[in-house]
Structure 1
Amino acid sequence: MMSLFKGLGAAAIVLAAITWGGQAKADCEDPKNAFDDVYCYSKLYIEADGDLNKAYGELTKLLSKDEKATLKKGELAWMRARNGKCSKQEGDDNFVDLDCAVEETRHRIAFLEERTQECKASKCQSSKLGD
């Protein structure tokens, strides 16, 4: 599990599912304690991240070189915004709200899938790729 969050630094990593309700919780089968919650949310995040990578890859197949560069800039900006919204650092500890991360990732998947449908239906709208 620690290897998933190498980028958070060498400090102790604490995963926190701050929101106890929500969609991610509904997808888990009867967690018994906070450790079960973290495990469950981690699985959901890994699944959502895989779906995100798939959606991103599908969209890039339809884009020109310049459009891919625009999409990449948008993706990096989205990652910074997600990280700012769903994580925080206190001293040497890093906290990640996995429910937030799952929700934000699912929203991004929907965004990428919408762009893919636009590209397939007509012409890709380059102006939206940087969002």
Structure 2
Amino acid sequence: MLRPAFLSAVLLAPVTSAWAGSCADAPNQMEATSCASEQFATADAELNRLYGVLRTKLDVPGQRNLVAAQRAWITFRDLECNLRTGYDPGDPAAGGTIASMLVGECRTELTRQRSRDLQAQIRCPGGDLSCTP
């Protein structure tokens, strides 16, 4: 059985593409999927950058909590996107050629939201109730 992280990497692996337009305007499904994959990679890189910034601002217990929260969030993100898109990791072909693009778009959306959440934590570290993000 494939692990979800491996399966995600396979499904969202970038296809070599010269497409530079909006994903919605891509001329075919392969280009749209590639575009969605590239957008997810960009959002994930920003999330990882913010995670690193926040981690340096936390004490050891805070870092442990952040690591645990991030791992739980990744599990949530992946399962939530499966739910939203009807994707079945047990039968990756069931969603057809559009499935990986839909999952990728969902993961991009949730990853961008998580980045906004981490930015708020950077501005207002845990415990500072006087801070408004």
By the TM > 0.5 criterion, same fold? yes
Partner AA of 2:89 in structure 1: Q
- More strand, by proportion: 1
Q: RMSD of the TM alignment (CA)?
A: 2.7
Give CA-to-partner distance per residue, 1:26-69, whole Å, 9 cap, x none. 95473101111101001000000000000000101100010000
- Could you tell me which runs of 5 or more consecutive residues in structure 1 were left unpaired when the two chains were aligned: 16-25, 127-131
Cα deviation, residue 8, structure 1 = 1.8
TM-score, normalising length: structure 2: 0.68
- More helix, by proportion: 2
- Percent sequence identity is 25
| Structure with more relative contact order (C-alpha pairs < 8 Å, separation 6 or more) | 1
- Of 75, 90, 103, the match for 1:80: 75
- Could you tell me which runs of 5 or more consecutive residues in structure 2 were left unpaired when the two chains were aligned: 13-20, 83-87, 129-133
TM-score, normalising length: structure 1: 0.69
3-state SS, counterpart of residue 89 of structure 1: coil
In the alignment of these two chains, the number of paired residues is 105
Contact 2:43–2:112 (Cα < 8 Å) also in 1 = yes
- d(CA) in 2 for partners of 1:91 and 1:28? 25
1:112 is matched with 118
Alignment pair present for 1:100 and 2:106: yes
- With over 3 angstroms needed to count, the CA separation of the structure-2 counterparts of 1:100 and 1:29, relative to structure 1, is closer
Give CA-to-partner distance per residue, 1:100-125, whole Å, 9 cap, x none. 00000001000000000003xxxx33
Cα deviation, residue 91, structure 1 = 3.1
Contact 2:47–2:114 (Cα < 8 Å) also in 1 = yes
